[in-house]
């Protein structure tokens, strides 16, 4: 009898798992990854981290799944980029419009600290719960810039920097002690644009007037009880109380399932059938550099290697089953030469007759914009930071510092400019002329390619360039971006341009089997040439020089400063 009972119970449990209502969960405590791991170390570090792609595809499928009744999202304190938050908000709003219950739960939206962007995400849900001890740090948007000129001067360090043009403000950190007027103008407009987006989103989600939301922002941060009274939160509750309420709403027999697990589902539903026409999804994440993608084991995040991304685009272009490509770009820029190599592969993909659509993440600026601008279409979220079409370069002169600490140096060389990039002495007049010629060449090439790719006159492209950073909303208004939306919108656009069905499958490129991942590449045309690796250097053989000069780690087409909006 005992064995029979075990069998019956097992069968009942299996039947329940196939038929019971589902409540999807998403835990954002550790954030989300935007794209597949770029190298073995990243794969190890992100083993338990859910990807944005899985969440978006899972929620899209769940909208039409009658078993799925609700979504519970725990919003943690791990910062999420504004564009990623807007991708999630869009998916939640569409899930909610399908008649599903959506619930946001946070232990705190900033522990009596800044929490504007996390709360902005929470405001998209039908119900917002806050732990009784939590706070709502709805305080607005601020961007801070620190200037090192005074401190460096005391140390005997002088910076010789050139930039194209006045809005390319990365050098200002070292050469100024305050914001220039263009610097303040650019950052002021970004904070204004982002605030407009957050106010509109919170007002719509919480059923408040925009003027009321503006007033609340000026009054924040809020203690939990104050947030409930202001209509920002529905009620204060602990996790167990939240889950009990959801189960009461959808049925006590409901099963919990993480969105990421739901998205992957049965393998047969995930993989395209042999010979089926597909959309290729190529990811380009991190600062742009020559060589392969990867990350430093000493920190600094992932990097977009030109060899890796170019090989992936080539592989997708040459696959007869791939009918369109979506290039997901999330990058502050970096090496001009590496960016140009990727730009060329985008151009070749378009010339091959395969539509290529860029989906911009949180950042697609400077070199990140360069690799995007030749696509058939660019899709960005309103909060994406993009543009920054410009260049800077130069060096730190540390001769004074060395003298102060008793260090002397001598140079022996052949060639008038052999020691040009030494940080001991300043550029000569002739050497500075070469630096400026290089800056002019890079800027002209960048702007001319913007004009060509975006169908603008050179003069108009220059007006929109000058190193200025734009939000996606403003970039769209100026023609630097074609559509506002997220990754799913870019995939839909690519399917439409290729004449594919709305549910045509998506494959991440490069597609490599476990065996291919182990063997060395036969040539640069081999798909395995796109394999990423862990590496320490970023400027290649000039890494030591870049570090000595205090230059950004990844190159001259770099978004200046820190641009995280929280």
What positions carry a catalytic annotation? 168, 366
- CA gap 538, 164 in Å, rounded: 23
CA distance 96 to 402: 63
| C-beta separation of 553 from 295 below 8 A | no
| Token pair in block for residue 364 | 């697609």
CA neighbor of 290 nearest in space, from 345, 329, 338: 338
* 284 bridge partner residues: 329
Between CA 139 and CA 216 the distance in angstroms is 8
Going from the C-alpha of 312 to that of each of 280, 366, 393, the distances in angstroms are: 9, 22, 30
Q: Is 293 exposed, middle or buried (0-12, 13-18, 19+ CB in 10 A)?
A: buried
Cβ contacts of residue 471 below 8 Å, gap of 6+? 189, 190, 193, 194, 197, 382, 383, 384, 385, 386
Angstrom distance (rounded) from CA 83 to CA 104: 19
**In the structure encoding, which two tokens stand for residue 256, read together?**
């919990």
Q: Which of 162, 192, 189 is nearest to 174 (CA)?
A: 162
Q: Are strands 158-164 and 391-397 parallel, antiparallel or unpaired?
A: antiparallel
Rounded Cα gap, residues 364 and 373, in angstroms = 10
């Amino acid at each position: 009898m005992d064995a029979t009972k075990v069998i019956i119970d097992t069968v009942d449990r299996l039947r329940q798992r196939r038929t019971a209502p589902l409540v999807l969960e998403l835990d954002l405590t550790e954030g989300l990854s935007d794209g597949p791991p770029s190298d073995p170390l990243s794969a190890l570090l992100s083993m338990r981290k859910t990807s944005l792609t899985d969440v978006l595809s899972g929620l899209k499928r769940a909208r039409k799944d009658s078993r799925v009744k609700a979504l519970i999202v725990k919003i943690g304190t791990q910062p999420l980029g504004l564009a990623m938050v807007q991708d999630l908000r869009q998916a939640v709003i569409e899930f909610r419009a399908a008649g599903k219950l959506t619930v946001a739960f946070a232990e705190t939206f900033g522990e009596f600290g800044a929490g504007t962007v996390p709360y902005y995400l929470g405001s998209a849900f039908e119900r917002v719960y806050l732990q009784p001890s939590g706070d709502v740090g709805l305080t607005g948007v601020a961007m801070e810039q620190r200037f090192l000129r005074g401190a460096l001067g005391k140390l005997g360090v002088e910076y010789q920097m050139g930039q194209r043009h006045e809005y390319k403000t990365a050098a200002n950190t070292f050469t100024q002690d305050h914001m220039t007027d263009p610097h303040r103008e650019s950052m002021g407009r970004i904070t204004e644009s982002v605030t407009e987006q957050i106010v509109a989103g919170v007002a719509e989600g919480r059923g408040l007037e925009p003027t009321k939301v503006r007033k609340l922002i000026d009054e924040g941060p809020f203690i939990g009880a104050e947030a409930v009274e202001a209509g920002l939160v529905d009620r204060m509750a602990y996790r167990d109380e939240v889950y009990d309420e959801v189960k009461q709403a959808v049925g006590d027999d409901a099963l919990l399932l993480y969105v990421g697990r739901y998205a992957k589902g049965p393998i047969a539903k995930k993989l395209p059938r042999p010979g089926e026409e597909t959309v290729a999804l190529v990811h380009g994440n991190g600062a742009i550099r020559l060589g392969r993608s990867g990350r430093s084991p000493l920190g600094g995040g992932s990097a977009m290697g030109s060899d890796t991304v170019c090989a992936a685009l080539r592989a997708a272009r040459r696959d007869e089953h791939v009918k369109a490509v979506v290039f997901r770009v999330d990058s502050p820029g970096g090496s001009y030469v590496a960016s140009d190599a990727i730009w060329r592969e985008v151009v070749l993909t378009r010339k091959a007759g395969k539509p290529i659509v860029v989906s911009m993440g949180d950042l697609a600026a400077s070199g990140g914009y360069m690799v995007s601008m030749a696509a058939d279409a660019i899709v960005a979220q309103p909060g994406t930071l993009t543009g920054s079409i410009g260049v800077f370069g130069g060096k730190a002169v540390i001769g004074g510092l060395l003298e102060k600490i008793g260090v002397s140096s001598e140079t022996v060389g052949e060639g008038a400019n052999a020691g040009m990039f030494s940080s001991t002495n300043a550029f000569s007049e002739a050497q500075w002329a070469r630096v400026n010629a290089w800056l002019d060449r890079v800027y002209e090439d960048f702007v001319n390619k913007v004009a060509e790719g975006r169908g603008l006159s050179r003069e108009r492209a220059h007006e929109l360039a000058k190193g200025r950073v734009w939000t996606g909303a403003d970039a769209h208004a100026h023609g630097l971006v074609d559509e506002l939306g997220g990754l799913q919108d870019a995939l839909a656009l690519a399917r439409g341009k290729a004449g594919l069905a709305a549910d045509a499958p998506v494959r991440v490129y490069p597609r490599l089997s476990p065996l291919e991942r182990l063997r060395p590449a036969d040539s640069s045309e081999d798909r395995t040439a796109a394999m990423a690796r862990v590496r320490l250097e970023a400027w290649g053989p000039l890494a030591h020089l870049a570090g000595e000069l205090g230059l950004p780690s990844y190159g001259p087409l770099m978004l200046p400063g820190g641009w995280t909006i929280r």
